[in-house]
Structures are given as C-alpha cells and as structure tokens.
Amino acid sequence: MAAIRLTVNGTSETVDVDADMPLLWVLRDTLGMTGTKYGCGVGVCGACTILDGDRAVRACQVPAAEAQGKRYTTIEGLSKDGSHPCQRAWLDEDVSQCGYCQAGMIMTTCALLKRKARPTDADIDDALKDSVCRCGTYVRIRKAVHTAARLGGAK
Amino acid sequence: VTTRRDFLKVSLLAGSALAIGFRFDDEAEAADAPARFQPNGWVRIEADGTVTLTVGKSEMGQGVRTSLPMILADELEADWSSIRIEQASPSTQFSRLGTGGSFSVAGSWTPLRKAGATAREMLISAAAARLVVDRASLRAELGFVIHDASERRVSYGELTAAAAALPVPADVPLKKTGEFRIIGQPTRRTDGREIVTGQARYGVDVRVPGLRFATIVRPPVMGGSVKAFDATRAKKVKGVRAVVRVSAGVAIVADNTWAALKAREVLDVTFEAGPHAAFSSATHARRMTEAATQSGFSTRKDGAGTATVMKSMAAVYQYPFYAHATLETMNTTADVRERSCEIWSPTQAPNDVQTRVAALLGMAPEAVTVHVTLMGGGFGRRLGWDYALEAAEVSKAAGGGPVQVLWTRADDMKHGYFQAASLHQMSAGFDADGKLVAWSHKKVSSPHNARRTPTAEQMRDPIFFRDISWGVYDVPYDIASVETSYVPVETPVPIGPWRAVFSPSSTFARESFFDELAEAAGADPIQFRLDHLGGAEKLTAGELTIERPRLRRVLEVLRTRSDWGKPLPKGSGRGMACNVYDGETHVAYAAEVTVRAGKVRVDRVVCVLDCGLIVNPLGIESQIEGGVIWSLSSALKGSITFANGAAEQSSYRDFEVLRIDETPRIEVHLIPSHGEVPFGVGEPTVPPMVPALVNAIYAATGQRIRTLPVRLEN
C-alpha cells in the first residue's frame, strides 16, 4: 500500500491503495466515481478511457503508482449539467442506446479534438476504432464528433 | 401450445397495471397523499405539477424509458418537458415486468394509453367540478384543463387533491390516431443527460454503505465442479475478507474489486472436469451433420407431393455459436439480511429474480426487494437470473451485508449462455417451365436449455419445435409445395435468447438460398421475391399471419431507395434480403460491399421497415442502426468456438465486434404508419441483414457464403 497523490477533475486526491491497482478501480471503488466504466480490464474495449492531461488513456491499464502527481479528467469532470460541447453534441445527435460505452467514447473524442480541432471522418475512425459499442451507435458517434467540433469541443 | 411470447416470458402490462387503490406503505407518504393524484401505478401527479411516469420495462438501450412514457404522456396530455421517469420494481402491482421479444412497445401500447387517458379524464372531471361547467366543455392540453368558452385554465397540479377523491372510471375514451402530439414525434432519450455526465447508474455502479466487492472463480469446463480449494494464499491479498464456496465456484469477497481480482489469480483450486471435457465445436458440427439425415419433426407441410420437379437444387448452411458480449458484464449487488433481501440488478427479468432469490433464501417473495438498474446492453442475456441468484448466495455465504458480484470479461464470454449453433439443409425444385414449385428447409439445432430445460413432453411435440423455428416455417413465399422440419441436437452448451432469438440463423439460410434460386432462374433477386409474394394476401403459418402486400411494399420501396440495378465498380456488389418478424414487423435490406484481397468492406446499407404505427422515429432509426452493426459483427467478426469443453474466447480481442472504422453508411426508410398499433423493432432489424450482406458478397466475388462467420478465399 502506498499513499498516491493525483488530481482528478481539478481536485487533489490522496489515496492509500496497492501500487498495482489500476486507476479504473481507484476511481470507481476508492473515489466512488463510477462514470468511468469497466468493460474488459485488458485494454481492448475503451470503456474506461479518461484524459491524462490532454491525452486519452485506458484507466484499466494505468497502475496507481503511475498516477502519482498526474492530472486526470473523467466524464464527471466535463460538466455536471451536460453543457460541455462534447456532451451537448452527444445529446443533440441522440447518440446513446445503452450508453455504457459513451463515457469512453466522449473522453476519446475530447482528446481527438484537442489534437485536431476539425477532424475528418478518417481522423474520427482512427481515434475511435479501438472503442467498442455493442449497441452499434457508431453512425451517430461520427456525427456527434463533427457536431462537438463545431460547438468548440477543442477548448 | 407454447407461443413465442410465453417462451420468452414476455408479458402484457395489463390487468394488475390498472389496479385501483394504490396503497402507501410509508406513513410519511400517506400524510402527503391527499395532495397527490395517483389513479394507477403508471401516473403520479404532485401538487406542484410534477408528473412522474412509471416505466415497467428494463432499459438496455432500446429506449423504453423514452417510448413508453411518450405513450402515457400523450394520452395524459402532459407537457413532455415536465415529466419524470421512475423504474418499477416487482410487487403485487407490478407482477409481470419481463422485457424481451421486442414486445415492450407493442405489449404496453393499450394498457399505457388507458392508464394515461384514465388520469386525464379524472383531471377533467375534477376541473368541471371546480369551474362549475359541463365536463364536455373542457379539454386537456399540455398539463392544463382548459375551458375555451370562458378562457379559463387550471393546471394539473391544482387538481390533484380533487381528482384523487374521484372514483376511477372503468372505461375511458382513447385518442384517435390523428390526435397524437407526442407519439410519432422524433424524441430524444430521456436518460441522455445522465449518460453523458456519468451520472447514469448501471448495475456495476451501485454503491451502498458497507458494500464489498466479489468475483467468482468458476470451473473452466462446462458442467465441471470445484474439487477442492485452499484459501490461504488468496486471503493474504490485502483487502480480501472472505473466500467462500458457492454453487458457481469459489467466491472471493473483498474491500475493492481489484483485491478480489488479484486474489483469484493466487487462489489454490482444483476442479473436476465433469462429463463434457471432450466437447468441441467441431464434434458438435459433426453431430449436426449426422442429425441432418433424420427426418425430425415436421413444422409445416403445404401441398407436399403436388409438384412435379424437373430440376432440383440443394445446399447446406451452417451457423455458429455466439455470445451476447454486452459491454457491461454480468453483475448484481445483493444484501441478504435476517428476514429480507435487497437486490440491485441489471435484469430483464425482475420478477423471476425476485421469486428465485426468495426460493433460494427460503423467504417470501415480498421479503425480496428488486431494484432494476440501467443495463449496459441486454440482447436477451439478462433474461437469465443466474448472476442475480449467485450474488444472493455470495452475500449469504459471506455472512450477509451488501456484496457486488462482478463477472470479468472472460467470465462473461465463457460462462454465459449462447446463441445456438445450427445447420440448415435447404432444397428446392423447379418444374418443366422453370417455375419454383418446391421448397424444403430442415433446421438442425438445439432448443434453449439455460434458463429452463424443455420438458420430455415438449421434446416430443412438433408444435414446440415449430414455435422455435421462426424464419423457417413462416417462409412467406408462395410456392406449391413447402415442407419444413426441425431436428433437435443435444448439447452441453448453455443456450438462451440472443437478439432475434431463433430467427437470425434461419433467415440467413432461407434468404441466401432464395438468392441462389433467383440466380438459377435467371431472375433479379427483388423481382424473384415479388413474383413469389402473389397468391393469397394473407398466409397463415402456425399461429402467425403474414401479410404479403406489406412485404411487397417494403420490397418495392427498397428497389427505389437502394438504387437497385445501378451498376457498381468491379470488386463491388449489391445484395438484398427481407423478412417478416413474428408476422409483424416487415424489414428489407440492401447492402453494398467492396471486396479486396479477401477483405469485405461494407459501403452502404439501406433499410426499409414497416413496424406499424410509429411511436418514436428517432428511436426506431437507432435500433435499425444498432441491428445492422450487431448483424455485421456476427457475419464478419467473431463467433464462439469450444475446445476441451470450454469456450475459447475471452475478450473482444478474440470475440471481435464491428468497430467505427468498419461502419457503413446506413440509410433508413420507415414505411408510414400502416395500421393502428405499433410492433417491435429491436430484434426484427437483425435477421435479414446477414443474408443481404452475403448476397452482396456473392454479387461482388462469385463466392457463395454458406458458413458463418464469413471467411473469404483471397
């Protein structure tokens, strides 16, 4: 066990957890932030994607020890009322079916837009092709990423 | 007779749903009761005007928490922007909450309209007394009762106390189709905001005081068991609280999920393999091939022997096992106490969960409270109660208190129930004039066995096999001789409902083979189908009635909308297929593909769908898009294979599903309302997609796909 300091959604947190506990479980079980989802635990579905600074990372693949001193943003950190451009775009396009994968999809989109403010379809496919949506909302996700870009999601 | 609805244990929200006389269990609530108007379990209006609508179906992405309140709110004349949604829990009032069979909207249609209209009429009566006018001079609109003559209006909130004192009318007028103002409007999901802000609560997100987290180490081989285990090493993992034997295996209960997952890696456990250790998909495929030589149970026989066949064709189609692979793995939180139990479960079958957990614990059903959470996908998997029962077992074995049992992705891939593998022996005959005069479809597969085992009586009953042969016996085409049959094959693989249940494999075989016949006849595939949809306008097959004119219309619209006949570049091809699901929803697809170096890219999918009255077009389009992706995944990506008695796949790495970069353009054309009632959509979108795809692959490459998943020669 080790005390690990990290910043989540602008709030500094100190957690006393196993150094190898994936950040996914630190968020969900230790900090009680359940917006970040468990999908596979082996980094192949993208459901647990969060931002490390401006970069999308898989929370199930980041051991707590590596989180020391880092600044993370989770879905809860975008806005509580759904006003962030990516959230608004997702609502406008009525993307969600079951919705379970969408936190990961939205966080991946945030990272994409920070890299490329007006992505092409090819950019979108490339950024999101490692994320699984079993309900099959991909058509609307593509539309929503464009909408998010228009709404200023790059900021 | 087992109808498909009994089979799925899907039920009407009828009868008890409209029971009069709601009782408040809570004293504090009872004190507020006079100001609150609740004529039935579905509608509650507070004095402040808040309208709360109850949803009696489980939300798994099909949009019931939007479409069902739309029906209620429309009859109630509520302001859509003011409504709140509440999820029903099993109780005497809600005794039939099962969700499946694409039956939520269709089955709820009339009861919910009556519930909404009852409340509306009572509010109008209350307003008539208050305004001292004839109730016939009043109308309800968007949360108000309005008296046009005097230009007075009273809000629903102001009428709650008076309305609550009125008797509940037995028979109320329902709106006419043209009077709907919410039904038929594209309506966004009511849960959208919770989802995009991370506040939506799925099964895995249940957090209650004192919650512990558990995982179960299961015997790897189907039908295996735990021989012995030693918890010493597992218990040394920090945070592990208990290691207990349960029916499913050995449960590790810990302070957090990670501790439980770590401990499972070091648990010393040995297993008995049991009787199925030699089972493999290959042996099962051989068994199906052998079984195909049997005549099996006749599921339809029309005009047999009347046709003179001059040229015959035959083909065998094969369909594999599939997993549901919902993104949220199976899980349930259970808190077993001395005389009661509380369950939080992402379940499609809350009443089953309640009664079975009660039986397991030796409690009365009323002692078990079941909270239905949102679910991260269902697709039929969550009609099972296995994962809820074991959570109750773990909580009890660990000394009580709340425990969340989470299945790992590998658990979920290997230990669920599966879509059944099947083999389809097809044959057809043309007469001397080249007319198709004979059709035969024999399905070899295994009935569901995971939730319930078929009885000995069912296993002798041709009607039982007919009713699990959707897509086979209800072949819609007008052919002089039609013979269909079913040969059951035993399997140790747990088999259960999967999106569209028995239909996808049957429709794959039927519509692909029909394409082979069209080609043999030198006919265009759409025209060939239209040519065989003449004859009687209504075809009765078993308990289903197929309306051929509706299917013809869907095909005609498809021909126009898909640019059918327009040339495509070399290496590309176009194919189509159609289906009538359960005699109700009519669907046709056209697919365009490009094949390069043995790799299939789906460029475009056009869907034409007639589901009767349209409740939420935005939701229907969503379900179609989802059905397309689901089906393309099954055709082009992963399947489940077994070796040494166990499923070989363990994640989306080896059970692949379609990704965004493989997603085609999808165009949807809904046939405007044909009739007064809505039919289901979630499942019907699946069956004809795969044959449309393989027919397109044939058009592009000349390779006829008769085995799934698609594997092309270079």
CB neighbours of B673 closer than 8 A, spacing ≥ 6? B177, B184, B612, B613, B614
Closest chain B CA to residue A98 = B61
**The predicted structure's pLDDT at residue B96:** 81
Considering CB atoms only, which of B374, B657, B660 is closest to A141? B660
Cβ-defined contact of B213 to A29 (cutoff 8 Å):
yes
Closest listed residue to residue B451, CA positions, set B359, B367, B356: B356
Closest chain A CA to residue B208 = A32
Q: How many CB atoms lie within 10 A of CB B549?
A: 11
Rounded to an integer, what distance in angstroms lies between the CA atom of residue B432 and that of residue B675?
41
**What backbone phi and psi angles, to 5 degrees, belong to A45?**
-115, -20
Cβ neighbours of A36 in B, within 8 Å: 198
For the four alpha carbons of B589, B590, B592 and B593, in that order, the dihedral sign comes to: positive
Cβ neighbours of A19 in B, within 8 Å: none
Choice between A155 and B227, residue whose per-residue pLDDT is larger? B227
Are B146 and B77 a contacting pair, CB within 8 Å? no
Q: How many CB atoms lie within 10 A of CB B228?
A: 10
The residue with tokens 């939300």 is: B59
Choice between B17 and A104, residue whose per-residue pLDDT is larger? A104
Angle at CA B102, nearest 5°, toward B462 and B413? 85
Rounded to an integer, what distance in angstroms lies between the CA atom of residue B287 and that of residue B304?
28
Considering CB atoms only, which of B61, B198, B261 is closest to A98? B61
Share of chain A above pLDDT 90, in %: 97
**Is the bond preceding residue B709 a cis peptide, omega within 30 degrees?**
yes
Kindly state the helix (H) or strand (E) to which residue B573 belongs, with its residue range.
strand B572-581
Rounded to an integer, what distance in angstroms lies between the CA atom of residue A86 and that of residue A147?
8
User: Which residue(s) pair with B329 in the sheet?
Assistant: none
ipTM for the whole complex: 0.98
Rounded to an integer, what distance in angstroms lies between the CA atom of residue B202 and that of residue B344?
9
Tokens (6 digits) for A139: 């058509």
What pTM did the predictor assign? 0.95
**The predicted structure's pLDDT at residue B510:** 98
Rounded to an integer, what distance in angstroms lies between the CA atom of residue B44 and that of residue A116?
48
Smallest Cα distance from A124 to chain B, Å: 8
Cβ neighbours of A134 in B, within 8 Å: 325-327, 377, 379, 630, 657
Smallest Cα distance from B456 to chain A, Å: 37
SS3 readout for A60-102: HHCEHHHHCCCEEECHHHCCCCCCCHHHHHHHHCCCCCCCCCH
Rounded to an integer, what distance in angstroms lies between the CA atom of residue B216 and that of residue B242?
12
**The predicted structure's pLDDT at residue B31:** 44
Are B121 and B381 a contacting pair, CB within 8 Å? no
Q: Is A134 helix (H, G, I), strand (E, B) or coil?
A: coil
Q: How many CB pairs under 8 A join A and B?
A: 194
Cβ-defined contact of A94 to B189 (cutoff 8 Å):
yes
Interval A6-16 mean pLDDT: 98
Cβ neighbours of B652 in A, within 8 Å: 40, 44-45, 132
Beta strands in B231-361 (DSSP E): 240-246, 249-254, 268-272, 297-302, 311-319, 331-336, 341-345
pLDDT along chain B (714 residues), means of 10: 33 27 35 71 91 92 95 96 91 84 87 95 97 97 97 96 94 92 96 97 98 98 97 98 98 98 98 97 97 97 82 97 98 97 97 97 97 97 97 97 98 98 98 95 98 96 96 96 97 97 98 98 98 94 93 98 97 98 95 96 98 96 98 98 98 98 98 84 97 98 97 84
